[in-house]
Structures are given as C-alpha cells and as structure tokens.
Structure 1
Amino acid sequence: MWGILSAYWPHILAIISLVMAVVAAVHAVMTKDEVRGAIGWAGVIILSPIVGALLYAIAGVNRIRRSALLSQRPGHRAGADSGRPVRIGDEEVGRLFGRRFAALKTLGDRVARHPLTTGNRIETLHTGDEAYAAMLAAIAAAERSVILETYIFDRDPLGLRIADALIAAQKRGVAVRVLIDAVGARYSVPSMAGYLREGGLDVRVFNGNIIMGLRLPYANLRTHRKIIVVDGTIAFMGGMNIRQGFTTEFAGEASAHDTHFQITGPVVADLFAVAAEDWRFTAKEVLEGEAWAIRTPIADGPAVLMRAVPSGPDACLENNHKILTGALSVARRSVRIMSPYFLPDQELISALVTAARRGVAIDIVVPSVNNLVLVDRAMTAQFDQMLKNYCRIWRASGAFDHSKLFVIDGSWAYVGSSNLDPRSLRLNFEIDVEVLDRDFAGGIDARIEAVIAAATEVTLAGLRARPYLLRLMDRLIWLGSPYL
C-alpha cells in the first residue's frame, strides 16, 4: 500500500483536488443567490486547489437546513387570561397609523413567521446595570422555567452572578436551559459553560463545542440572539451580551453602553418559540410540558403592537433585511439609525439614499470609539456613498455604544440584536422586534436625538482630507467586510 501511495501520490492528490473542487463549485453555483458571490467562490475554489474548497467549507456555506417547530404557541391565538384576540388586522392598523403602516404589516406577515400582536408591554432598559438587575430579579423569582440564549456569556464577576442565580433556580426546582454560541463561548478562558455545567445546568454550545472546535460546514454561522424567557411570561431581548464591561458597577464611568428590553404580553410566546427552536436544533430536546407552558395575558391599559422577527441562515434568511427595506420605503419624515457596526449592502444603501432623495431626513449614528477597529475602518470606507446622497452620519461621543436602534417617523421602531452589517443581515441568527407604537418609538427617537446633540458630524470634506494611503487601506479592509 505504501509503495502505491509513494509512487502515485501526485495522481491521487490531483483526483482528490478535482473531486473537492467540483463538489464545492457545484454547491456554490447551486446555492448562492447572488451572481457575484457564486462567481467569486467558484473562482477561489478553482484557482486554489484543495485550499479553496476548504475555505468554502469554513466560510462559504451560509445556510442551515433545519425543520421548524410546528407547535402553535398560545400567543398566536387569544389571550388565555382575557379571552380577547391578540392578532390585529390590516384595517385596524390602517385606522390607527395610516395605510402605509398597514402595508408594512402585510410585508411583516409575509416575511416573518410570527404575527403582529396587541396586548404587549415593552420597557426600555437603558444601561447594563439596569438590564442585568432586571434579569437577576426575574430569574430569582422564577417558579417553573428559564431559557437563556446568548452570543457572549463572560466568566467575569457579572457573568458569575447571573450564573449563580441560574444555578440557584435549578436547585429550587426550576427547569433551566442555557445556550451559548460556540464563538461567543470562547471570549472567556476558561469558558462559562464549564462553570454552569459544574453547577448542574444543562448547557449547550450552538454550532460547535468548546474542546473540539466549530462544526463544519457551518463554522461561520453563529447565534447572535440574546433572549431570556422566564416562566413563559416575561422576556428580555436586545443587544446586550452578558459582560461586566457594560456596567458602571464593574467598569466605572468608562463602561460601554447598550440598550435592552423587558417584554410581557403575547409576543413572549414567539420569543420563546425562537429560543426553543434553537435549543431543539442543538440539544435535540423539545421543550414542552407544564414547566414550559406559555402564559401571556394581555396587558391592562395601553397596549403595544409588536412582532418577533427572527432572522438567520435558514428559512428566515434576510428577514431583517426585508423588513428594514420595507420600512425605508414607507418613511415620510425621518429615519434614525443607531448601530455599532454599520456596513449595509448596496440594496440597503439604495433604499436609504432613495428615501433621502425624496426628502426624508436620514440620520445614522455610529460610535466614535469602536471595539472592532477593522469594522470601523470598513464602515468609514462606505460613508461617502451615503453622505453625497443627502444622508447625515454622526460619530457619537463618549464610550462605545453597542445599541441597535432603528425608528421611522417617530411611530415604528425595530430593535434587537441585528447590526446593519453583512454578518447580521445574512450569516448570524438574530432576533428583533418591530414595535408599532408612538410612545415607544418616540422614546427611541429621543434617545438617538440626545446622542446626536453631543455627536460630531461626519462630512465628505473631512473624509476626503484624510491621507490617500489611509483611505486606500480602508477600502482594502472593506473588501473583506462580509466576514469581519
């Protein structure tokens, strides 16, 4: 056998290379929706024998095929405790907010798997100190179940505090499940997963494991969702990972900023369904029974219209992209965006520019200090496309702000875990909510307005005054933006 291999290894290697190239190139041609993407990957595969196919296996496969949970949650039907319907019709939305928002509802109905429901409440948690305190209080009060899904769960004093609360809940009989992304789990060494398992919790790592590495061919696909659902009644979601750097308690005045949300009402059933589906995909366990029963009574008083919008490289591919493009098409007065990583594709840039050209005031806020330098450089390389087409871009002063906020006309808001970059729009599993409510949207609008008041405006003249070599470097970094 060794003699055959030593004599014919070049021929064997050539056959292996040819088979790998054909399989990978055919997969790219048959699965890529964009001509440029298909041609680009086919070229890499053909021009880089073996290496190109391996690169494609690691970074080129951007779809996971998995079956969806078919169970219909109580939030899709009627408020169990009130008997009132929770779905809202097109005519009612049109009466309350105008025909354009009824059209946006129709888009959401056809894109997302979850309905627009009434009877919800959403509370903005403006700081890490406020958000983590609310999470801890909810976990401490849990009686039946807690499911937590997150991208990063650091093994720092803040993370250990939440971990101990989860372990204590499990010891008093609460069913607890924790899902951490395989990449995010590596932000701490040693990982928090080990500490939680030692405490007796069922902890899983999404799309990989800590010891052996990521799961091919989906190594580039991550869960970026941040969801906590307690007792099927109260939920937390938004942009906040579990890290001490977002609290003044541990990081002082230099702490990073973020925005998170506490939610009650029928939409909690849909947030739970998203987390439970990710858990089933990872752990092969369906969360059912009394512990996981959903109880989402309609809130008394003014009710907020909300919809959960999951996005990801499966059946929900580019849901966030479609919803945001639709929202830009119905905006009349203003669009305000706050994002730490602002790298929209050409379709979204065209939608922004088109809205600006028809007189909509477009304000985009990004941090002046970014935790990802390469992403910031790529962002800067793209700014001129919007600035020369009537959009305004602002660099927020102060500490890094990780908030992901989008509001149009002070009436409709889109908040959650999605950044406006290629990874969030195509590669990550994300969770956002669209909120049709003037009070809530007005609050988000005011929050962004306050940041703009202290921000520095980015100008075309300022960009063009930068040294040519620096601008060239930004453009070269921008070429790799889909995988930053």
Structure 2
Amino acid sequence: MQIAESLIDWIHAHWVTNVLILHISLSLLTSLHVLLFKENDRTSLAWIGLVIFSPFIGSMFYWLFGINRIKRLAQKEHPQTLKEDFRNQASALDFHSLPDAWHSSITAGYAIHPVSFVAHNAITPLINGDTAYPEMIRSIKNAQHYVVLSSYIFDYDSLGRQFVKALAEAHQRGVTVNVLLDGIGVGYSWRKSDRALKKRGVNTARFLPAVSLTGIRFINLRNHRKILCVDGEVAYIGGMNVSKNNLVKTSKHPIDDVHFKVTGPVIDQISKVFVEDWFFATGKRIQFPLFDLHKPRPEKSHPIVARVVQDGPDEYHNRIRWTLINALVCAQKSVKIITPYFIPDKTLMTSLHAAALRGVAVDIIVPAHSNIPFVDWVMEANFSRILEHGIRIYKNKRPFDHSKIVIIDDVWSFIGSTNWDARSLEFNFEINLECFDSSLNAQLTQLFNEKQKNAELVIKEEMSQLPIYKKIRNNLFRLFSPYL
C-alpha cells in the first residue's frame, strides 16, 4: 500500500515530465511509421508536423485516418495457396481484333493488372434507380442457385425493404444468398437493413466494421463496391447504392446515377472480387457458379470486350489510377468524363493536360452542387488550374449526379464505382469494368450529351472574379483534398 502511494505521489510530482516523455515517445513511434510507410513526401511532412505540434491528438488522428494501406491476402490466416485461387486466371495476351492504336494500351494494361480481356459480353446502361432497381430485383426473384450482393449503402427505406423482401424470399426457396455491407456504410441506416436480413435468415457480413478490437485503425478504408451477381448468369455493377433517392421520378432528394447490367464471361471476374471480399470479411470461402459458355441462349452474339479492374488500399493499390493514365496516353480524339467529385491528383491532371496539348478534346461534367459542400469548394478552387490547355468543365444543374463514366474516342470506356478523388483512388476498395466497344461508347456518349445540355460551361474569368472570402475558403479546404 505504501509503495502504491509513493508511486502516485511521484507521478503527481513529475506529471509534466511524464506527459512530455509520453508525448515524445508516441511522436517518435508515429513519425517512424510515417517515414517507413508513407510514399508522398508532402503528406509525410504534414503528418509529422501534426504529430509533433499536436500532442497526442495528432498521433491519434494518424492512427485512425492516416494508415491507408492494408494487407489482406498476405495475413497469416490467409495461406499463400489461397492467393492464387482468388486471382483471375490470366490467359495468353489476346488483342481480340481491336484497333492497332490500342494494342500498346492492352499490353500495358495487362502488366498493370494481369487479368485478361474476355469477349462476347453484353453491357446495358440502366439510367437511375427507376430503371436499374426493377431489373435487379427481377434477377433476384428469378435466381435459382446463388445470389451475392455487395453495397456501400443499403438504406432500409421503401426501396431497401423491396430488396430485403426479394433476398429473403430467394433464401426461403433454397437459393444461397450472401450480402456484404461496408462497416461504415451500413451505419447510414443504423444497421436496420443488416438486422432485417439476418432476422429473415439471410447470410450477411460487414467489411471492416467501424469499431472492433482489430479494425478501428482501418476506419478510413471503405468498401465502395456495388456488386450483384446471380447464378453466374447476370451481374450488375456501377455507382448506385440501394436507396430510394435514386428513384428520381419520386424521390424528394433525387440522385442521378447509372448502373450497368452485365452478361457474359466477364461475370466470373466480377464474382471473384466478391468471393475475395467475403473471405476477408468472414474467413469463409464460397463457391459461386461460373458463367456457362456452352449454355444455349436466345440472345444474339455480344461484341463487347471487357475485364474487371479492381483497386484498393491493399495488394491492388493504384491499379485504377494507372489504368486511367494508360488509356489517356492512347486518346486521339476525345476524352469525356462524368464524375460526382473531380479532385484528381497531380499525375492524373498532368495526363489530362498532356492529352489536351495533343489536340484531344477533353470535356468533364461535374455536379453544380454535390452532396458534400466542402468538396464543391475544393473543385472550385481547382477549376482555374484544370481549365488550362483547353480542357472544358461543365456543371450539371440537374439534381446531384452520382454517375461515374469515362469515354475515350469511340472505342474505350471505363465504368463502375470509382470517383476522380483521393478517397476512391487511395482509400476505397473499388471495382470497374474496362470495355472496348463502339456501340457501348455511342450509348454512353449520347448519355454524356444529354447531361451536357443541362450543364453550364465553367468560364475561367468567372473563377478569377470570385469574392476573396470564397477564394480563401476554397483554397483552405483544398489543402485537405488528399483526405476528403
């Protein structure tokens, strides 16, 4: 008892020294981690400054939000032999009779992400939830063997309850159903959708729960993928969460978006991404049916050549960024981008400017007002820099447009869940389809043109005439753009 009292008295008498020693030790440990694992020099210096000059708080923020990489397949509980099982088995490089100008892109793309392009796919754009959701629910209702669904947000609203009902009914008739929800995204509905599914016997899992003994330091890493695969016969991917706000015709707060219905052998690549995510979240492997190439189908032959490009703060880091850079190098006539958030890093912006300098027409559509005001301020701060060399930016006056599409020339397109910002390209787990097809590009170009009619061209002179307080506000938030 006397020893304990003496220790307390000593701590009380030297508390300033103890706090200082603790701060120095924690700052040193955190700074060493920054030096060893951060790649960006400016970001590293900013973190070290925050850690040193904000005792304890700076270190806490770093360990919560600064760690943007995670090793999934390399964990001890994931044997090395399982790695190859999750990889899409790549075949010999095949150019599929695509234009010669894109052969170098295909070669480089295969080196960036060694997943083969596969032919005979059909990809149908589904505009807004009014078109997409009935198709998705119909596919679930027609499922015979297996349904997998991954969503960042799954609202338990009138639309979400339709999905819950369809999934539960599929489970009741003997279909295997697995639903993967992001650990943060599930909180948008206070986990009501998760509980409703479990109550009806549907198998659910959470990807990186927001709070757990092992996962709290990965609170900044989110699964942003939207995947629905049914029986290996049909799949849906894109930018659309499960929410009634995407029902533009009836929603009080409508969100424009586009999803894609996929049929063909590329479905196997989509489902394997889900299988890998499910194993990471649960430790359990599932066997999802493969697309049957020999099954007779009434549809005509489908011409689209496509492959999956997945990305995340793990073994697949930077693959979408490099895929975009690779494609921009090959652009000859036009680049068209639709994105809800346009805050590209310096490398991507340089690639766009290089294309514009070659005479390529670069047009970008962003929302006039997104759902995150300070992101709008950062985009506005960057407009003057972006507009150099003839790049054009249009602000869509429609309700918030959440669409994510890149169209290059009349043959290449990139569709899926990725935004043009650090959150998507650094922190999120994303999935996209890289496609070659002139007919698909024509459909996407028509969609682009329709959105452009409702958009206002950004004029550089107008940006220079902004009130000084807006310039200060915009550029202040621009400093934090790597973390938005």
Question: Is the shorter-chain TM-score for this pair beyond 0.5, marking a shared fold?
Answer: yes
Which residue does 2:479 correspond to in 1?
Answer: 479
Deviations 1:76-109 (A, max 9, x none): 47xxxxxxxxx6745x34x4312x3111111221
CA separation of 1:434/1:346 partners in 2, compared to 1, >3 Å: closer, same or farther? same
Residue type matched to 1:7 in 2? W
More displaced stretch, 9-18 vs 427-436: 9-18
- The TM-score with structure 1 as length reference comes to 0.92
Question: How far apart are the structure 2 equivalents of 1:377 and 1:311?
Answer: 27
Query: How do 1:317-328 and structure 2 match up within 5 A?
Result: 317-328=317-328
CA separation of 1:422/1:74 partners in 2, compared to 1, >3 Å: closer, same or farther? closer
**Alpha carbons 1:75, 1:268 under 8 Å: kept:** no
Question: How far apart are the structure 2 equivalents of 1:11 and 1:200?
Answer: 57
> Which consecutive residues of structure 1, in runs of 5 or more, have no partner in the other structure?
78-86
CA separation of 1:167/1:57 partners in 2, compared to 1, >3 Å: closer, same or farther? same
Which residue does 1:387 correspond to in 2?
Answer: 387
Q: CA deviation at 1:388?
A: 2.5
Deviations 1:144-197 (A, max 9, x none): 111111110001010011011111111111111111112211112353211111
**Alpha carbons 1:223, 1:428 under 8 Å: kept:** yes
Question: How far apart are the structure 2 equivalents of 1:53 and 1:170?
Answer: 46
Residue type matched to 2:124 in 1? E
Q: Does 1:4 align with 2:7?
A: yes
Q: Does 1:49 align with 2:50?
A: no
Question: How far apart are the structure 2 equivalents of 1:3 and 1:232?
Answer: 70
Q: Does 1:294 align with 2:290?
A: yes
**Alpha carbons 2:93, 2:116 under 8 Å: kept:** no
- Could you say what secondary structure the match of 2:309 adopts? strand
Deviations 1:190-225 (A, max 9, x none): 53211111111221121115x769922211000000
- Could you say what secondary structure the match of 2:256 adopts? coil
Query: How do 1:322-401 and structure 2 match up within 5 A?
Result: 322-401=322-401
Which residue does 2:146 correspond to in 1?
Answer: 145
Residue type matched to 2:145 in 1? R
Question: How far apart are the structure 2 equivalents of 1:296 and 1:268?
Answer: 10
Which residue does 1:81 correspond to in 2?
Answer: none
**Alpha carbons 1:74, 1:295 under 8 Å: kept:** no
Query: How do 1:40-439 and structure 2 match up within 5 A?
Result: 40-67=46-73, 69-70=82-83, 72=85, 76=89, 89-90=93-94, 92-93=95-96, 95-98=97-100, 100-189=101-190, 191-209=192-210, 215-248=215-248, 250-251=250-251, 255-288=254-287, 292-297=288-293, 300-439=300-439
Residue type matched to 1:62 in 2? N
Question: How far apart are the structure 1 equivalents of 2:322 and 2:71?
Answer: 20
Question: How far apart are the structure 1 equivalents of 2:9 and 2:240?
Answer: 56
**Alpha carbons 2:353, 2:388 under 8 Å: kept:** no
**Alpha carbons 2:88, 2:115 under 8 Å: kept:** no
Residue type matched to 1:132 in 2? Y
- The TM-score with structure 2 as length reference comes to 0.92
Question: How far apart are the structure 2 equivalents of 1:213 and 1:318?
Answer: 28
Q: CA deviation at 1:315?
A: 0.7
**Alpha carbons 2:86, 2:276 under 8 Å: kept:** no
**Alpha carbons 1:88, 1:118 under 8 Å: kept:** no
Deviations 1:278-314 (A, max 9, x none): 11111111112xxx22134277513211010000000
Question: How far apart are the structure 1 equivalents of 2:292 and 2:353?
Answer: 40
Residue type matched to 1:58 in 2? L
**Alpha carbons 2:411, 2:437 under 8 Å: kept:** yes
Which residue does 1:39 correspond to in 2?
Answer: 45
> Which consecutive residues of structure 2, in runs of 5 or more, have no partner in the other structure?
75-81
CA separation of 1:31/1:244 partners in 2, compared to 1, >3 Å: closer, same or farther? same
**Alpha carbons 1:205, 1:282 under 8 Å: kept:** yes
Residue type matched to 1:343 in 2? I
Q: CA deviation at 1:342?
A: 0.5
CA separation of 1:453/1:35 partners in 2, compared to 1, >3 Å: closer, same or farther? same
- Could you say what secondary structure the match of 1:204 adopts? strand
Deviations 1:251-292 (A, max 9, x none): 16x62210000111111111111111111111111112xxx2
CA separation of 1:135/1:302 partners in 2, compared to 1, >3 Å: closer, same or farther? closer
Deviations 1:226-247 (A, max 9, x none): 0011112211100000000110
Residue type matched to 2:272 in 1? A
Question: How far apart are the structure 2 equivalents of 1:223 and 1:360?
Answer: 34
Question: How far apart are the structure 2 equivalents of 1:330 and 1:230?
Answer: 35
- Could you say what secondary structure the match of 1:185 adopts? helix
Residue type matched to 1:31 in 2? F
Question: How far apart are the structure 1 equivalents of 2:143 and 2:363?
Answer: 41
- Could you say what secondary structure the match of 1:400 adopts? coil
Question: How far apart are the structure 2 equivalents of 1:279 and 1:129?
Answer: 29
- Could you say what secondary structure the match of 2:251 adopts? helix
CA separation of 1:74/1:478 partners in 2, compared to 1, >3 Å: closer, same or farther? closer
- Could you say what secondary structure the match of 1:305 adopts? strand
More displaced stretch, 67-76 vs 142-151: 67-76
Residue type matched to 1:460 in 2? K
Residue type matched to 2:477 in 1? I
Deviations 1:45-93 (A, max 9, x none): 222222221111111000011117535589747xxxxxxxxx6745x34
- Could you say what secondary structure the match of 1:70 adopts? helix
Question: How far apart are the structure 1 equivalents of 2:214 and 2:233?
Answer: 34
Question: How far apart are the structure 2 equivalents of 1:72 and 1:296?
Answer: 19
Which residue does 1:84 correspond to in 2?
Answer: none
**Alpha carbons 2:396, 2:456 under 8 Å: kept:** yes
RMSD: 2.1
CA separation of 1:447/1:2 partners in 2, compared to 1, >3 Å: closer, same or farther? farther
The percent identity for this pair of structures is: 33
Which residue does 2:34 correspond to in 1?
Answer: 28
Residue type matched to 1:67 in 2? L
Q: CA deviation at 1:395?
A: 0.8
Q: CA deviation at 1:473?
A: 0.5
Q: CA deviation at 1:345?
A: 0.6
More displaced stretch, 16-25 vs 239-248: 16-25
CA separation of 1:41/1:428 partners in 2, compared to 1, >3 Å: closer, same or farther? same
